[in-house]
């Protein structure tokens, strides 16, 4: 990273009692300023604990936490330039919208006119102009959430922590707020750290996702990276729907599963290594039985609005999920076709570090090889063996 990280965790662990289990296990990350980060994980995985350590609501048991280059382990809550938005909004119910948003500024004894100016600006940003005198109790869930966000941005903190802020909203409002939050973050350029257990939400909103499981970061990357290259079964099933079958990596770019050999784009593994093979439902195409790479029998079909969700079984009794805009007939045998790049290979028990090292190594080898081929081809052109 070229810039100084806005937040840095160095070997951070957490246990709530002295000899108890570790809730966070050696967490390390560096966050760049101005980005939208998401912590994604199941209930109890440690997401809120990470936010609370940044906010100062709880201490790390070991390790160091830095905010904008300064070690903040011992810095009190109110001296940390971060603001938390909670799921339950944490608004003052008997006060009006204006007073709730102005609250952090009043504590800091800011001049009255300045407060008014900034509250009005914040209200405009969250599209609540005209609501300043409304009581909190008389707002809808989405409006309350906007007030909480306005209160978070009013101090222009370096980092805003959002702990499942949208989970109390219905689906439509939630989607709307996802767009709004993302747009607001980009406009303000403040670093957001957003917690959710909703994988679709994390894919839609983030620049960068951390997948947390049992107090550890399992994988981190852009939404596209994580969706396209899940490092293990856990991530593949957690992010999106997946078909996962056992396979054997015969050599680089050649994998065997369902008793057949398939071309793949993965490599860097041992010969004949046992692997998990992932193919996403939307990457499987229905074909006539004799034109497919796999032969399956349709077991069930559900119409999901945009696509049909088809479950079909192969000869080995394995189930395949297919997302198709074309209807199938239950009981019928169909072929399934897919491309080499739609086959994602996962090593068993590979950590994120091993994964990165392997990708780097074989991509490098591939680049060198491609370079050699180019050089040979150029030479052939020069001496006329190829035109």
The yes or no reply on residue 174 touching ligand ATP (CB under 6 A) is no
Q: How deeply is 338 buried, as exposed, middle or buried, from its count of CB atoms within 10 A (0-12, 13-18, 19+)? A: middle
Q: Which is nearer to Mg ion, 122 or 212 (CB)?
A: 212
Interatomic CA distance for residues 145 and 289, integer angstroms: 52
Q: Are strands 191-196 and 159-163 parallel, antiparallel or unpaired?
A: parallel
Instruction: Report which of 65, 79, 48 is spatially closest to residue 10, judged by C-alpha positions.
Output: 65
CA dist 120 → 107, 150, 156, 336, 337 (Å): 18, 10, 14, 57, 57
Phi-psi category of residue 331: left, alpha or beta, with phi > 0 → left and psi -120 to 50 → alpha: left
- The one of ligand ATP, Mg ion, none whose footprint includes residue 23, by CB under 5 to 8 A per kind, is ligand ATP
- List 6, 7, 49, 56, residue binding ligand ATP (CB under 6 A): 49
- List 38, 48, 185, 219, residue binding ligand ATP (CB under 6 A): 48
The yes or no reply on residue 196 touching ligand ATP (CB under 6 A) is no
Q: Can you tell me which residue has the tokens 């382990």? A: 73
Distance of closest approach, residue 196 Cβ to Mg ion, in angstroms: 10
Distance of closest approach, residue 170 Cβ to Mg ion, in angstroms: 20
> Given the rule CB under 6 A, which of 46-54, 91-99, 138-146, 291-299 is the region that contacts ligand ATP?
46-54
Distance of closest approach, residue 46 Cβ to Mg ion, in angstroms: 9
The yes or no reply on residue 167 touching ligand ATP (CB under 6 A) is no
Phi, psi of 147 (to 5 degrees): -65, -45
Binders of Mg ion among residues 302 to 361 (CB under 5 A) are none
- List 6, 37, 45, 126, residue binding ligand ATP (CB under 6 A): 45
H or E element in which residue 236 lies: helix 233-238
- List 48, 100, 155, 196, residue binding Mg ion (CB under 5 A): 48
Binding site for Mg ion (CB under 5 A): 48
Binding site for ligand ATP (CB under 6 A): 16, 23, 41, 43-49, 197
């Amino acid at each position: 990273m070229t810039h100084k990280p806005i937040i840095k965790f160095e070997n951070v662990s957490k246990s709530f009692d002295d000899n108890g289990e570790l809730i966070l296990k050696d967490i390390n990350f560096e966050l760049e300023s101005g980005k939208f980060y998401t912590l994604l994980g199941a209930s109890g995985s440690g997401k809120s604990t990470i936010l609370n350590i940044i906010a100062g609501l709880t201490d790390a048991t070991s390790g160091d936490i830095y905010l904008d280059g300064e070690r903040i382990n011992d810095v009190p809550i109110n001296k940390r330039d971060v603001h938390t938005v909670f799921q339950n909004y944490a608004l003052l119910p008997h006060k009006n919208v204006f007073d709730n948003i102005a609250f952090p500024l009043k504590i800091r004894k800011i001049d009255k006119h300045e407060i008014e100016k900034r509250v009005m600006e914040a209200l405009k940003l969250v599209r609540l102009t005209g609501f300043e005198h409304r009581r909190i109790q008389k707002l809808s869930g989405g409006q309350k959430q906007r007030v909480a966000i306005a209160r978070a941005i009013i101090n222009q903190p370096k980092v805003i922590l959002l702990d499942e802020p949208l989970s109390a909203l219905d689906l439509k409002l939630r989607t709307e707020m996802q767009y709004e939050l993302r747009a607001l973050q980009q406009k303000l350029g403040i670093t957001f750290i957003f917690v959710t257990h909703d994988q679709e939400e994390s894919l839609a909103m983030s620049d960068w996702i951390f997948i947390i499981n049992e107090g550890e970061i399992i994988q981190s990357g852009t939404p596209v990276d994580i969706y396209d290259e899940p490092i293990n079964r856990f991530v593949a099933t957690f992010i999106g729907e997946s078909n996962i079958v056992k396979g054997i990596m015969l050599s680089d770019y050649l994998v065997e599963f369902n008793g057949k050999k398939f071309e793949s784009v993965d490599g860097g593994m041992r010969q004949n290594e046992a692997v998990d093979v992932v193919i996403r439902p939307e990457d499987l195409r229905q074909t006539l039985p004799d034109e497919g790479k796999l032969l399956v029998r349709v077991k069930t079909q559900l119409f999901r609005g945009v696509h049909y969700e088809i479950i079909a079984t192969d000869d080995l009794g394995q189930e395949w999920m297919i997302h198709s805009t074309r209807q199938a007939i239950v009981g019928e045998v169909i072929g399934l076709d897919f491309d080499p790049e739609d086959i994602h290979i996962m090593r068993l028990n590979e950590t994120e570090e091993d994964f990165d090292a392997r990708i780097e190594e074989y991509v490098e080898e591939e680049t060198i090889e491609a370079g050699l081929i180019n050089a040979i081809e150029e030479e052939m052109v020069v001496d006329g063996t190829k035109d």
